[in-house]
């Protein structure tokens, strides 16, 4: 299958209301989608006060782990809809808690990515990711996972693209205004599709008010914005994408990867 119905779900979670957030978010997964991306920490909310609070809502989400209510709800929804789901959650792994994204296939199998680049106070709450930037086979595509602030490091999208990703799934809780435009560049410089799923609303649990910017989007390998949501709407957007439209040849003499000159770079 080279055509895929790719969706982003944009939510407005209430901090700590896991059952309500799960119900509202999963109800928004569009009928007929093959791959849907939900926001970072979509079922818990974002602004944990400390590691202990994050741990209290974390789950053993990695393959082979026990899971919990969030993983179970994603597994049930993936089975019911036939869609692969990618969503952010707090992941418990022994004594550590990671800001992670889980990929759940309709057959119940799952994969994990742990956020590499932690943003601001996240550094006081989560352990930084230690699994690199993974690419998984799902719904007939090579699916790469990154989370929110990873966008500002071109190495994240580049690592995924070099590992063969065709679609970047990007659960987010965006605060800075530049990401939606930056992801256009990430797609152009790697010739990949990207689906950034963000949240809306605000949180102020630590004396630092956070306003989330919405603008979830689906972007093509040429940087066309196929769908972009508003700053305040809850809902979902879907686009039919053709994986065969991915062309790494920029001109007859220029290939986006083969023309790289790593010997000239300082990385
Ligand atoms: C962010 O990485 N959630 C801003």
Asked if residue 237 has its Cβ within 6 Å of ligand 1, the reply is no
**Shortest-distance atom of ligand 1 to CA 117:** 2
Instruction: State the closest ligand 1 atom to the C-alpha of 175, by its place in the atom list counted from 1.
Output: 4
Residues 6 or more apart in contact with residue 118 via CB below 8 angstroms: 99, 126, 128, 149
**Does residue 203 line the site of ligand 1, with CB under 6 A?**
no
Q: Which residue has the tokens 């956020």?
A: 115
Low-confidence ranges of the chain (pLDDT < 50): none
pLDDT at 1: 53
> Residue 151: CB within 6 Å of ligand 1?
no
For ligand 1, the distance from its centroid to the CA atom of residue 48, given in whole angstroms, is: 13
- Residue nearest ligand 1's atom 2 by CA: 149
Residue owning tokens 């790719």 = 6
C-alpha span between 57 and 48 (Å, rounded) = 10
Question: What atom in ligand 1 is closest to the CA of residue 173?
Answer: 3
Q: How many Å lie between the centroid of ligand 1 and the Cα of residue 24? A: 22
- Which atom in ligand 1 lies closest to the alpha carbon of residue 172? 3
CATH superfamily of 3-264: Carbon-nitrogen hydrolase (3.60.110.10)
pLDDT score of 183? 98
Does 150 contact ligand 1 (Cβ within 6 A)?
no
Pocket test for ligand 1, best of 114, 124, 145, 148 (most atoms within 8 A of CB): 148
Nearest residue to 72 via CA among 26, 137, 34, 127: 26
CB 131 within 8 A of CB 111: no
All structural domains of the chain with their residue ranges:
3-264
Q: What is the pLDDT of residue 267?
A: 77
Enter the tokens of residue 4: 């895929």
| Predicted pLDDT of residue 180 | 97
**Residue 207 carries which DSSP code?**
S
């Amino acid at each position: 299958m080279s055509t895929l119905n790719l969706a982003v779900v944009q939510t407005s979670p209430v901090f700590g209301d896991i059952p309500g957030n799960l119900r509202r978010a999963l109800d928004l997964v569009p009928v007929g989608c093959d791959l849907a991306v939900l926001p970072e920490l979509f079922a818990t909310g974002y602004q944990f006060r400390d590691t202990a609070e994050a741990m209290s809502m974390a789950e053993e989400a990695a393959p082979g782990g026990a899971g919990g209510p969030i993983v179970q709800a994603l597994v049930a929804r993936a089975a019911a809809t036939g869609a692969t789901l990618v969503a952010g959650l707090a992941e418990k792994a022994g004594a550590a808690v990671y800001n992670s994204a889980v990929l759940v296939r309709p057959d119940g199998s799952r994969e994990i990515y742990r956020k590499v680049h932690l943003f601001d106070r996240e550094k006081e709450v989560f352990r930084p990711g230690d699994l690199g930037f993974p690419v998984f086979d799902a719904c007939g595509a090579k699916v790469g996972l990154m989370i929110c602030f990873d966008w500002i490091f071109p190495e994240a999208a580049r690592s995924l693209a070099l590992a063969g990703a065709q679609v970047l799934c990007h659960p987010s809780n965006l605060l800075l205004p530049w990401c939606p435009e930056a992801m256009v560049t990430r797609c152009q410089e790697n010739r990949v599709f990207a689906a950034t799923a963000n949240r809306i609303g605000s949180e102020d649990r630590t004396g630092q008010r956070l306003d989330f910017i919405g603008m979830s989007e689906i972007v093509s390998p040429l940087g066309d914005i196929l769908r972009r949501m508003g700053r305040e709407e809850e809902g979902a957007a879907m686009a039919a994408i053709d994986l065969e439209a991915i062309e790494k040849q920029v001109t007859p003499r220029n290939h986006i990867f083969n023309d790289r000159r790593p010997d000239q770079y300082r990385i």
